[in-house]
Amino acid sequence: MEASAGLVAGSHNRNELVVIHNHEEPKPLKNLDGQVCEICGDQIGLTVEGDLFVACNECGFPACRPCYEYERREGSQNCPQCKTRYKRLRGSPRVEGDEDEEDIDDIEDEFNIDDGQDKQKQSAESTLYGKMSYGRGPEDDENGRFPPVIAGGHSRHVSGEFPVGENGLHKRVHQYASSEAGSERWDDKKEGGWRERMDDWKLQQGNLGPEPDDDPEMGMIDEARQPLSRKVPIASSKINPYRMVIVARLVILAVFLRYRLLNPVHDALGLWLTSVICEIWFAVSWILDQFPKWFPIDRETYLDRLSLRYEREGEPNMLAPVDVFVSTVDPMKEPPLVTSNTVLSILAMDYPVEKISCYVSDDGASMLTFDSLAETAEFARKWVPFCKKFSIEPRAPEMYFTLKIDYLKDKVQPTFVKERRAMKREYEEFKVRINALVAKASKAPIEGWIMPDGTPWPGNNTKDHPGMIQVFLGSNGGFDVEGHELPRLVYVSREKRPGFQHHKKAGAMNALVRVAGVLTNAPFMLNLDCDHYVNNSKAVREAMCFLMDPQIGKKVCYVQFPQRFDGIDRHDRYANRNTVFFDINMKGLDGIQGPVYVGTGCVFKRQALYGYEPPKGPKRPKMISCGCCPCFGRRRKSKHESNGDIASLGEGDKEHLMSEMNFEQKFGQSSIFVTSTLMEDGGVPPSSSPAVLLKEAIHVISCGYEDKTEWGTELGWIYGSITEDILTGFKMHCRGWRSIYCMPKRAAFKGSAPINLSDRLNQVLRWALGSVEIFFSRHSPLWYGYKGGKLKWLERFAYANTTIYPFTSIPLLAYCILPAICLLTDKFIMPPISTFASLFFIALFGSIIATGILELRWSGVSIEEWWRNEQFWVIGGISAHLFAVVQGLLKILAGIDTNFTVTSKATDDDDFGELYAFKWTTLLIPPTTVLIINIVGVVAGISDAINNGYQSWGPLFGKLFFSFWVIVHLYPFLKGLMGRQNRTPTIVVIWSILLASIFSLLWVRIDPFVMKTKGPDTSMCGINC
């Protein structure tokens, strides 16, 4: 299927498939009925089989054999029409470059043409429709059967079952990946092959020095053999004092809690017990959060070494292909212009165009998203060459043209200013067209949307529609204005039907994994939210420095980049940047087993998402006894004898076991997709035609495809929580994979964040609810993943903390109310302390301050960012986290589900205008109530001290400090309530005052936390005694 050939819509279950020509008709192939060469005008002639001679199998351009031979020998070796390199045809002499084509020799097969074709056809059919006994063999025709549009002519081999003998038996022939060092087969015909491999091995071991008359290029070769990245440990002068303070703080905390337990407050036991329980919970929470930061590290990458190793001049580019996934749901909350900028930045990345494929998932089946993507594909033909010609950053046009920087810096081309002005005008016209589409889509017609050719839009019913796929840009038809090839751009909307569970974003991502596995099957995948554009055009290269490193890449499941954001107010009132997490916690995890997956800005290894375990390195053999001598104990069974683990078997056993496994029960009923899962180096499986691939792609996004498979439980994005990212990364780490945290100097990706208070709280509510769901699921880090011991303990601490932190809201809410209670009742949570006991408090506060200062010192986080994080920890803890716990318990106990709402990515025209907008939500009530109660308590406490004289001021200071601690942490929330006009909505004031009044009246009536004292007996001395 060519690019822009039409929208393919259909349903596998209903046996429906239709092609809708929406924007333009497909370009027809040249007429092959003519017998005249369009180069020289002579007759084309026939082949030895009597068929018309066809020089180019891609477009069928009419050319005779002499012109074909001359173009291959003296010319550019490319077809004049489609610019595709001419393949060597039977009977043609070899030219430079043909050595890369694995083709059978003409002399050996000159008189067996029909037999060779039958063998090729039988091989392909056996691969696609065999009983899942798949391998890789050298006899596949690399170029004959791969679809030109989808595969792009750069696919790798995959073979199926090859018939052997007359009994119909099959055997599998495996071919080693050509990119792996030392993977060449022993070839007796290749002279010097063994000697060259031995010399390479000696050079790697350092036992063979360079020759005295060394080639000048040997320096570059040696540089290419160096590691592509390295760990940069934190300086010992920074990290050692930090660790010492952590240990000291742990000891001081233990002594402090012992003192608190052994010194109760007898006249306020309720207050004392509540505070002690809260403090113990805070201590446990601090341990889970602190100790995973024990081994923080930084990393460096070497992009020049990556190019020297995989992009050698005069050789084919060996960088691995990458499939990029962009997900969107509602174009009204996720504006099409934002999504278009993300797609444009992907298409313009600094990476070989034939190695990039961008898939956009429209889970809302919106015609607005489809039309805007078509406009984006057209604008990309102008935008991409402009970006690459002048090496601009960032490559999202909206961000580039709005940057207030000197755009002439480092620019030396005289035409840059003129072309920039022209491109800015083109982009403004593009924005107008997108805005027109948005305005048109604001009011849907009663009869539903109609496509330009008069066909009803298949997604008019967003909950009941077929699957849809459109290839907007491909290798045939996807060219920019300068004639260069563009990356592939594919629109995907999975099928939805009533009665099926679609699993929200996780289900959409799994559908993209399968579609990409059928169409392009790159070994690595980058997933981005629709509002996260590529800010660093070399971001994928940064990830490849880890994933393609021969030393560490084999066990890396994904490379996570930090999230960075645009459009946040200068003071970051609500800690939207989340700098403490991304610059401190994630660095600490990188030194253990790797960072957690945060949902976007992550490059995955496809094999890790498929549920495979990492390859196991060689182990030192252990002494085993025959069992006859009890001194040496009993012989234990090996792992593959007891469990049948594929990864631990030998090559022959592995092939046998894999041939017996039912891959259909694991991956689904698509033979083409199952074939692709066995290709570790990626590549497109062979197929009879591109139409078969697209039909199979429609099949794998059907709504019933995942039934009775392991999708969502062991494969792909894991279901069971609205924060599917945490679960997905957790499952990989439990299998023994490790992840990498990459922080390039220029941020890799940037996105938008909700700077409005209500939106921010709703976002935190969604994250916390997902954590609660994981806590009560079978995948809880508290009890899952112990088998095999592949998850490190400190990594488990971190995952446990991600699921437990919402429950901290309960003791935190109680602790924030305690100061007001102490001021209103004139009681305190602590007994009068001696001078010695006061040292415990001084030491505890000192260790807390020292830990924070030293943490900021080695991480580089500013004190303002750290303080904003502390403030929002309290604000979110007593609002969003509390509601998440309640909603999670309702879902688990009563089955009451909550709806997932997409955070709005729309921006306000006014600078930070959204910051001051107020949106009503019940999440605002608890913090407002706590704030009012503490303010009332402070007023009551000071009034009581004034009335009672000087002696009451001493005990008051501790209570006031406690209460001011709460008020200061809630200060950003108070500013958010006031808004720009310093006005608080009436409904918030009414609810908060009502709750505060009810609480105060109940307190006066019940007074539960204060010991009852016996007063005078009124029956004996009278009422006025």
Residue, of 178 and 816, whose pLDDT is higher: 816
Residue, of 137 and 357, whose pLDDT is higher: 357
Pairing relation of β-strands 467-473 and 7-11? antiparallel
Which position among 289, 323, 363, 759 bears the catalytic label?
Answer: 363
CA distance 898 to 762: 12
Question: What is the per-residue pLDDT across 616-631, written as a single tens digit (0 to 9) for each?
Answer: 866 555 544 454 544 4
Q: What integer pLDDT is reported at residue 86 of this predicted model?
A: 81
CA distance 576 to 582: 11
Nearest CA to 715 out of 673, 684, 769, 672 is that of 673
Give the confidence band of 177 by pLDDT, cuts at 50, 70, 90: very low
In whole angstroms, what separates CA 873 from the centre of its chain? 25
Q: Identify whether 908 is a catalytic site residue.
A: no
The single-letter DSSP state of residue 554 is: G
Question: What is the per-residue pLDDT across 490-510, written as a single tens digit (0 to 9) for each?
Answer: 999 999 888 888 888 999 999
Q: What integer pLDDT is reported at residue 1001 of this predicted model?
A: 53
CA distance 599 to 727: 10
Cβ burial of 917 (10 Å; 0-12, 13-18, 19+) is middle
Q: What integer pLDDT is reported at residue 35 of this predicted model?
A: 60
Nearest CA to 163 out of 203, 195, 119 is that of 119
Instruction: List the structure tokens of 484.
Output: 């260069």
Q: What integer pLDDT is reported at residue 163 of this predicted model?
A: 36
Structure-token match 């112990």, residue found: 786
Instruction: List the structure tokens of 55.
Output: 């020089």
210-220 CB burial, b ≥16 within 10 A, e <16? eeeeeeeeeee
Q: What integer pLDDT is reported at residue 1004 of this predicted model?
A: 52
Question: What is the per-residue pLDDT across 281-290, written as a single tens digit (0 to 9) for each?
Answer: 999 999 999 9
Give the confidence band of 981 by pLDDT, cuts at 50, 70, 90: very low
CA distance 934 to 626: 75
**806 φ, ψ (degrees, to nearest 5):** -65, -30
Whether the predicted pLDDT of 159 surpasses 80? no
Whether this prediction's pTM lies above 0.85 is answered by: no
Pairing relation of β-strands 356-362 and 322-328? parallel
CA distance 707 to 829: 57
Question: Average of pLDDT values for 961-987?
Answer: 73
Q: Is 266 left (phi over 0), alpha (psi -120 to 50) or beta?
A: alpha
Question: Residues 6 or more apart from 90 whose CB is under 8 A from it?
Answer: 47, 48, 106, 113
What element of type H or E holds 358? strand 356-362
Q: Identify whether 363 is a catalytic site residue.
A: yes
Mean residue pLDDT of the chain comes to 77
Residue, of 303 and 106, whose pLDDT is higher: 303
Whether the predicted pLDDT of 456 surpasses 70? yes
Whether the predicted pLDDT of 69 surpasses 90? no
Sign of CA dihedral 578, 582, 585, 589: positive
Instruction: List the structure tokens of 743.
Output: 């922080």
Amino acid at the residue 430: F
Structure-token match 């068929």, residue found: 51
CA distances from 427 to 277, 486, 584, 910 (A): 60, 18, 39, 21
Residue, of 58 and 776, whose pLDDT is higher: 776
Question: Residues 6 or more apart from 413 whose CB is under 8 A from it?
Answer: 389, 390
Helices (H), 291-415: 303-310, 336-347, 367-390, 397-402
Question: Average of pLDDT values for 84-95?
Answer: 79
Q: What integer pLDDT is reported at residue 397 of this predicted model?
A: 93
Question: Average of pLDDT values for 435-459?
Answer: 86
What percent of the chain is modeled with pLDDT above 90? 32
Q: What integer pLDDT is reported at residue 32 of this predicted model?
A: 37
CA-based radius of gyration for the chain:
34
CA distance 808 to 885: 10
Sign of CA dihedral 338, 344, 349, 353: positive
Question: What is the per-residue pLDDT across 505-553, written as a single tens digit (0 to 9) for each?
Answer: 999 999 999 999 988 889 999 999 999 999 999 999 999 999 999 888 8
Residues 16, 22, 28: CA angle, nearest 5 degrees: 90
236-259 CB burial, b ≥16 within 10 A, e <16? eeebeebeebbeebbebbeebbee
CA distance 675 to 933: 65
Question: Residues 6 or more apart from 822 whose CB is under 8 A from it?
Answer: 271, 828, 829, 937, 959, 962, 963
Q: What integer pLDDT is reported at residue 1000 of this predicted model?
A: 58
Q: What integer pLDDT is reported at residue 238 of this predicted model?
A: 92
CA distance 1008 to 271: 9
Residue, of 854 and 668, whose pLDDT is higher: 854
Residue, of 839 and 115, whose pLDDT is higher: 839
Query: How many Cβ atoms are within 10 Å of 877's Cβ, its own excluded?
Result: 25
Whether the predicted pLDDT of 901 surpasses 80? no
Strand order in the sheet with 533-534: 533-534, 749-752, 564-566
Give the confidence band of 794 by pLDDT, cuts at 50, 70, 90: very high
Question: Average of pLDDT values for 168-173?
Answer: 36
Question: Average of pLDDT values for 947-956?
Answer: 70
Instruction: List the structure tokens of 185.
Output: 């087969």
Whether the predicted pLDDT of 134 surpasses 70? no
**Cis geometry, peptide bond prior to residue 972 (ω within 30 degrees of 0):** no
Nearest CA to 868 out of 982, 756, 747, 973 is that of 973
348-363 CB burial, b ≥16 within 10 A, e <16? bbbbbbbbbbbbbbbb
Question: Residues 6 or more apart from 831 whose CB is under 8 A from it?
Answer: 263, 264, 265
Whether the predicted pLDDT of 146 surpasses 50? no
Q: How many CA atoms lie within 13 A of 712 on its CB side?
A: 22
Q: What integer pLDDT is reported at residue 195 of this predicted model?
A: 56
Please say whether the beta carbons of 877 and 584 come within 8 A.
no
Helices (H), 701-808: 724-734, 757-775, 793-804
Whether the predicted pLDDT of 152 surpasses 80? no
Question: What is the per-residue pLDDT across 364-404, written as a single tens digit (0 to 9) for each?
Answer: 889 999 999 999 999 999 999 999 988 888 999 999 998 87
Give the confidence band of 582 by pLDDT, cuts at 50, 70, 90: very high
Give the confidence band of 678 by pLDDT, cuts at 50, 70, 90: confident
Residues 937, 942, 945: CA angle, nearest 5 degrees: 125
CA distance 628 to 249: 54
- Segment among 217-221, 782-786, 1016-1020 with least mean pLDDT: 1016-1020
Whether the predicted pLDDT of 83 surpasses 50? yes
Q: What integer pLDDT is reported at residue 348 of this predicted model?
A: 93
The string of DSSP codes covering 243-281 is HHHHHHHHHHHHHHHHHHHHS--GGGHHHHHHHHHHHHH
The single-letter DSSP state of residue 467 is: E
CA distance 953 to 951: 6
Which position among 572, 590, 725, 759 bears the catalytic label?
Answer: 725
Cβ burial of 991 (10 Å; 0-12, 13-18, 19+) is middle
Please say whether the beta carbons of 677 and 663 come within 8 A.
yes
The string of DSSP codes covering 565-619 is EES--TT-TT-TT-HHIIIIIHHHHHTTT-PPP-SSSEEEEHHHHTTPPPPPPP-
Question: Residues 6 or more apart from 628 whose CB is under 8 A from it?
Answer: none
Q: What integer pLDDT is reported at residue 243 of this predicted model?
A: 94
Whether the predicted pLDDT of 155 surpasses 50? no
In whole angstroms, what separates CA 512 from the centre of its chain? 13
Structure-token match 């589900």, residue found: 897
Q: Per this entry, what is the length of the chain?
A: 1025
